[in-house]
Structure 1
Amino acid sequence: MADFQTSTHRAKWIFTPNELVEKYKVSNQRAIKMLKEYGSTRIEVSADGSLSYPEPQLDATKVEKRSHTKPLSIEDEQLMRVFYEQKIQEVCLAFGFPQKIQGTAIIYFKRFYLQWSVMEHHPKNIMLTCIYASCKIEENHVSAEELGKGIQQDHQVILNNEMLVLQSLGFDLIVYAPYRSIEGFVDDIEDFCQANDQLEMLKVSIAFVFNDRLWLPLK
C-alpha cells in the first residue's frame, strides 16, 4: 500500500469543517432546485451505469402536489448519512467481514455524499455498493448476488451503481482507516502496562472511555 503522505487520501480527501459544510450545502441546494423545477430529486441509474435525470412535469395535478413536497435540510441529510453508516457496520458484522472492509466502505460512503445529496441517490443502494466495492479493493471479494441475497436486496442495484460510485470517488480507492493505528497504539499501551503491572487499570480506563465518551450521539 502506498505511503499516506503521498496518497490521494491525503492530497484530495482531507477537508476542514467549513469545507465539508460547503460541499453538503452545494449538493443540498442542487437537489432542492431540482425538486422545485421537476417535482423529483431522484436520479435513476440504468444497467449500463448511465444516469437519468427528472424531466419537467406539465400535469397540473403533479405540479400542485410537488409544491407541497418538503425537501430535506442539510441537518436531515446528515442524520440519514449517520443512520446508513451504522447500517454498513451492521451488514459487515452480519457477513463477518474484517474490520478493514467496514472502514473502507464507510469512507467510500462518506466521500460519495460529498458529491451528491441523499435526495438524489438512495443511501441504501449506495451503502450496498460501497460495501461491494470495499470487498473488492480489500481483496475479500463477495459477489453482488451473494451480498444482495444475504440481506434480501436486488443485487442488480449494486451492479448498476458500481460505476457511479467509482466515478464519484474519482477512482481513488486506496483509503486509510484509523483502526490499524489505534490497534497499534493500544498494543503499545498494553505492553507498557504489563511491564509495569498496570494492565487492569488500563482495561478499566478503556471501558470508561467507550462507555462514557465515544458512544455519545453524533451532533
Structure 2
Amino acid sequence: MSTLIPSDFRTLPTPEAFIPRAPPALAYSQSSQFQNWRFTQHQLDTLREGANQGARRRVAEAWSAANGKGKERARDDGEQGQNGAQSEDPSSSKATINLPFPTVSDELELIKFYLGKVPGLTRALTLPEFVGAAAMTYMKRFYLRNSCLEWHPKHIMLTCLFLATKTENVPMSLHTFASKVGGKSPTREAVDESARSIREHEFLVSQSLQFEFMVWGTGRALAGLLTDIQLLEPPLPPAKYHELTQAAQEPLALSRLTDAEFLFTPSQIALTCLRAAEAKVLSPEETKWGIGQLGSSLTKPYLSEKEKRARNAAEEGKRERDTLRKVDEDRLKSFLPSSSSSTPKIAEGVPQGNGEGSTPTPAPPHTEDNPALALSHTDGSLLAVLDRCAAMIQTEAGRKSAPGSTAAAERMEKVKAVDRDIKACKASSSSAEGSSEENGAGAHQTGKKRAAPEEEPKADDAGGKVESGEGEEPAQKRARTGGSG
C-alpha cells in the first residue's frame, strides 16, 4: 500500500520499496494437498480400518433389519403361536449370518487392481498422462474414507477419470466418455447406464475429496528435476539424458500404486525416481534403486548445486531488499520534521561509513535466516526419506508379475475371491434395503446410493477398454439408499 505524506499529500513513487521482511513461503506448503492430504502410516491405517468397520456395521445392520422384517411379514401372513413366540431377535448374535466381509488388505488388493487399469484406459482414451495420474490420486483419496463394500472400485475409477478430465482442463462430454469406455461397439443402453452411473457418483466423489481437486503431481516435479539437471557441469550427454528420462518412468508409475503421495512430497518422490534411474543408467554397479546412498554422479552434485543456487539467490534478494529499504528511508528523511539536535542520532547496530561521504559498508548476508534453503543432504536426513520412499516403490515392484505367470494367476484369483465376497455382502445389503423400503423403514439411510453387484474382474480387462458383453448385469446398476461411511 502506498504511503501518504501529510505535509504535501504526495505519494511515494516507489511502492516496490515496501517489501515484506518475512521470507517467501513455498507454494506447495500453502496447498490443500499439503495441508489436508498428508498423513503418517498410522493415520492411513486408522482411516482405512474405520471405513472398513463402519461399512461392515451398516451391512450387518441392514441384513438384521431385513431378517426382522421377513419374520414380521411371516407372522402377519398367518404363522401364529409357537412359531411367532420362538422367532429370534434380529439384533441378537443368532440372527446374524457370517457374511464374508473383506479385510482392509483385501480391499486394497481390489483397489490396486482397478488402479492398474487407469493408465491403459487413459491411453485408450488418448488422454494426457497427468489426467490418469490425477484420477488415481482421486481414487486413493476416496477410499481413505469409504469402503469397497459400499462403493465398487470400478464405478469410482470411471467417475474419477471423468472428473479428472475436467479438473485437469482436458474436457470431454459425458456421452463421449461413456461411449469410449463401453468397448468397441457398446449398446445404447450400456452407454446410457454408464453415463447415469458416472453422473450419480460424481458428486459423491467430489464430496469425499472435500472439493479439493488440485493435485501436485510427481510427474511435473520429475519433469522439473530433469530440466534442472541439464544445468550441471559438465552437462549430461543427450543420449544418456534421454535414457535417464525413460528409466525414471518405471518408478514413477509404480509410485502411483502406493501410498507415497500421502507420506512424501512430490519433489521427494521425484528425487527418488531420479536416483533409481541414475543407479540403473549411470551407475549400474550401485545398489538397485540407489537405496543407502546418494548417487555420486548426478543426485549428490545436483543437490549441492541446487542448494548453492538457492543460497546465492537468497543473498541477492536480501541485498536488493536492503538497497530498496535504504532508498525508501532516504526519501522519507526529507519529509520528516528536523530534529532539535543538529547531529542525528545513530541507531545502534547500523554499520557506518569509512569516512566523510563514503557509502556505508553493507553487512554480510546471513544465510541462516531461511532454514528452508538447506536441503539436508549432508546430515543424512534426506537420504533416510528417500530410502523409505524407494523401499515402498521397490515393494510394489516386487508384486509386479509377468502376464500368464503363476504369481499373476494367484493374484488374479485373490482379486476374484475378494470381489465375490463383496458381491455376497452387497446381495444381503441390497435385499435388506429393499425390505426396508417396502415396509416404510429406512432410518439408517442417508440419501446416497450404492452400486449393484459387479461382474467378476477379468485379467484382460486392463487393456484400456471396459467391456460390457451381452448377458451381463449392467455394470452401473445401483441399489437403493444407504450410508457412505
- TM bracket, shorter-chain basis: 0.7 to 0.9
Distance 1:65-1:134 versus aligned 2 partners, 3 A rule:
farther
Q: Which has the higher contact order (CA 8 A, sep 6+)?
A: 2
Distance 1:130-1:198 versus aligned 2 partners, 3 A rule:
closer
Structure-2 separation of matches of 1:180 and 1:204: 16
Deviations 1:64-94 (A, max 9, x none): 9972430100100111111111112221111
Deviations 1:196-218 (A, max 9, x none): 54843883796495797553328
Please give the secondary structure, in 2, of the residue aligned with 1:39.
helix
Distance 1:84-1:193 versus aligned 2 partners, 3 A rule:
farther
How far the C-alpha of 1:179 sits from its partner, in A, is 0.3
Distance 1:184-1:194 versus aligned 2 partners, 3 A rule:
farther
- The answer for the alignment partner of 1:29 in structure 2 is 53
Deviations 1:23-75 (A, max 9, x none): 000000011112222239xxxxxxxxxxxxxx644336xx8997243010010
1:146-165 aligned within 5 A = 146-152=176-182, 154-165=194-205
Is 1:217 paired with 2:367? Answer: no
- The answer for the alignment partner of 1:110 in structure 2 is 140
Moved more, 201-210 or 2-11: 201-210
Structure-1 separation of matches of 2:244 and 2:177: 38
Distance 1:191-1:38 versus aligned 2 partners, 3 A rule:
same
For residue 122 of structure 1, the aligned residue among 152, 161, 183 is 152
- The answer for the alignment partner of 2:209 in structure 1 is 169
Is 1:179 paired with 2:223? Answer: no
Structure-2 separation of matches of 1:9 and 1:178: 12
Contact kept in structure 2, 1:104 and 1:134, CA below 8 Å: yes
Structure-2 separation of matches of 1:105 and 1:13: 15
Deviations 1:86-135 (A, max 9, x none): 11222111111111111111111111111100111111111111111111
Is 1:16 paired with 2:35? Answer: no
For residue 203 of structure 1, the aligned residue among 239, 243, 258 is 243
Structure-2 separation of matches of 1:145 and 1:66: 43
Q: Which amino acid aligns with 2:147?
A: S
Contact kept in structure 1, 2:230 and 2:236, CA below 8 Å: no
How far the C-alpha of 1:189 sits from its partner, in A, is 3.4
Distance 1:123-1:193 versus aligned 2 partners, 3 A rule:
farther
Larger radius of gyration: 2
Normalised to the residue count of structure 2, the TM-score between the two structures is 0.38
How far the C-alpha of 1:142 sits from its partner, in A, is 1.0
Q: Kindly, what percent of the aligned residue pairs are identical?
A: 25
Normalised to the residue count of structure 1, the TM-score between the two structures is 0.79
Moved more, 184-193 or 89-98: 184-193
Distance 1:197-1:159 versus aligned 2 partners, 3 A rule:
closer
Please give the secondary structure, in 1, of the residue aligned with 2:172.
coil
Structure-2 separation of matches of 1:88 and 1:71: 26
